[in-house]
Structure 1
Amino acid sequence: MRFSQISALALVGAAGAFAQEYIPADVVSGNPEGVNYVATLPVQPFFKAGSLNGNVKGSVSAKAGPGGVGVQFDVQFSNLPTEGGPFIYHLHVAPVPSGGNCTATLAHVDPFKRGEEPPCDPSTPALCQTGDLSGKFGKITSDPFTASYVDPYSSITEDVGGSFLGNRSFVFHFANKTRITCADFHLAPSQPNTTVYPTGSALPTVVPPTTVPIAAGNSLVATLGAVVAVVPVLAWTLFI
């Protein structure tokens, strides 16, 4: 009897802890169109060891999801370390200090106090940490890596407390969670394209304006010169 009572109490306590740990995140609506935050990795890495050549290159951009629900993230990374993957990245609570210390960005954005353990299950993203983007939408397994997705639980609206990312940062990690590099989000010019791309798809390529090569310009000059040369001959022929 005593054993049963103790077991029942233990189960109740475990259930209470379980429920507290897995409070589902709220879906964020009302994110404003035309607002775009971008975080671009610096030239120098925070972690200067291992198989890294220079620093990881890349950025994370964030704008309103369709209808203002959630945030559309467009991510791109390249020049990854040749060892230590698959790599992960998260939104972190604090911005990067002037010295570039990624440790000072503190923990993941986690307004519902979910915690890091057990790991995020991507099949139930509402029960993951809000800032665990790679846990919800996929780790980095290729170089280069691009992806676009909508996270319903993130915010670019300043009055949505813990889910707001505009005054925060993201951190790029080895698989063992060692911090390699990090960057702050900054307000950027609005982006007219609101298309949602499937996860893992390539981002649109911006084609620069077409310029006329110097050689083409020289050909044009030569052609004009030939025309000018022919005109006197034609005039003389008509005169005769």
Structure 2
Amino acid sequence: MHSTFLAGAFMSLALSVAAQNAPVVVDNQPVSFHHASLLPKDNATIWGGIQIRPQQDSHALQVQVVIGGIPEGQALNYHIHQYPVPEDGNCYATGAHLDPYGRGQTPPCDITKPNTCEVGDLSGKHGPAWAPPGEDFRVTYLDFFLSNTPGQPAYFGDLSWVVHGPNSERLSCGNFDTFGKDWQEWDA
């Protein structure tokens, strides 16, 4: 019994030490642009895209999101997930949210303290997607915790973007593509 208690205490200590706040990323590449489009799905009306690009004279990355076809009265969460979408388009195969610092989802993300949220919890850090009937959700914001530098813990460029319904079901998803300095401006 004593060894079981000690093992549990050490496990709790290890988990609490492992989880940490996300640091501000200061080494983003100046000419690395990423875009992901949602795949068409039979079970959802939504469509959209996300683009993430560097900001001149800032450590932040600019995120532009467009989601259309949102069911009336619903607010949808969207996240960067830890794996790309496989060829069969299975959004559930993308794993959990991008969370390199072990934050987890409990307690829920606090929009006023984005460094304490999972790195990939974009709607938790910046607000869910919603729109009045007949309109599209369009938003642009800065995120200081994502990395566009391959090999960094918060790098998202080879991962996926997933939009969730009200019960956390995965409505649609898409993989990020990376573009260099010849990338064209996207009209969000």
Q: TM-score, normalised by structure 1?
A: 0.66
Structure with more of its chain in strand, by fraction: 2
* SS of 2:93 mapped into structure 1: helix
**Superposition deviation, residue 68 in structure 1:** 5.2
**Superposition deviation, residue 147 in structure 1:** 0.8
**Superposition deviation, residue 103 in structure 1:** 0.4
Instruction: Quote the Cα distance in structure 1 between the aligned partners of 2:130 and 2:18.
Output: 29
Shifted more, 184-193 versus 59-68: the winner is 184-193
Q: Does 1:116 align with 2:97?
A: no
* SS of 1:163 mapped into structure 2: coil
What is residue 158 of structure 2 aligned with on the other side? Answer: 167
Residues 87, 139 of structure 1: 8 Å contact kept: yes
What is residue 92 of structure 1 aligned with on the other side? Answer: 81
Unaligned segments of structure 2, at least 5 residues: 1-8
Instruction: Quote the Cα distance in structure 2 between the aligned partners of 1:21 and 1:150.
Output: 27
Choose the corresponding residue for 1:64, options 54, 58, 78. 54
What is residue 127 of structure 1 aligned with on the other side? Answer: 116
Instruction: Quote the Cα distance in structure 2 between the aligned partners of 1:170 and 1:204.
Output: 19
Unaligned segments of structure 1, at least 5 residues: 1-11, 194-202, 206-240
Residues 154, 163 of structure 1: 8 Å contact kept: yes
What is residue 6 of structure 2 aligned with on the other side? Answer: none
Instruction: Quote the Cα distance in structure 1 between the aligned partners of 2:168 and 2:18.
Output: 21
What is residue 101 of structure 1 aligned with on the other side? Answer: 90
* SS of 2:123 mapped into structure 1: helix
What is residue 144 of structure 2 aligned with on the other side? Answer: 152
Equivalent residue letter for 1:111: P
**Superposition deviation, residue 108 in structure 1:** 0.3
Q: Does 1:30 align with 2:27?
A: yes
Instruction: Quote the Cα distance in structure 1 between the aligned partners of 2:15 and 2:81.
Output: 24
Q: Which has the larger radius of gyration?
A: 1
- Cα deviation, 1:175-219, whole Å, max 9, x if unaligned, reads 2211000000001354577xxxxxxxxx857xxxxxxxxxxxxxx
**Superposition deviation, residue 69 in structure 1:** 1.1
What is residue 75 of structure 1 aligned with on the other side? Answer: 65
Equivalent residue letter for 1:25: A
Residues 70, 130 of structure 2: 8 Å contact kept: no
Residues 39, 169 of structure 1: 8 Å contact kept: yes
Structure with more of its chain in helix, by fraction: 1
Residues 30, 68 of structure 1: 8 Å contact kept: no
Residues 31, 65 of structure 1: 8 Å contact kept: no
* SS of 1:67 mapped into structure 2: coil
Identical-pair percentage: 31
What is residue 176 of structure 2 aligned with on the other side? Answer: 185
Q: TM-score, normalised by structure 2?
A: 0.83
Deviating above 6 A after TM superposition, structure 1's stretches of 4 or more consecutive aligned residues are none
Instruction: Quote the Cα distance in structure 1 between the aligned partners of 2:180 and 2:70.
Output: 28
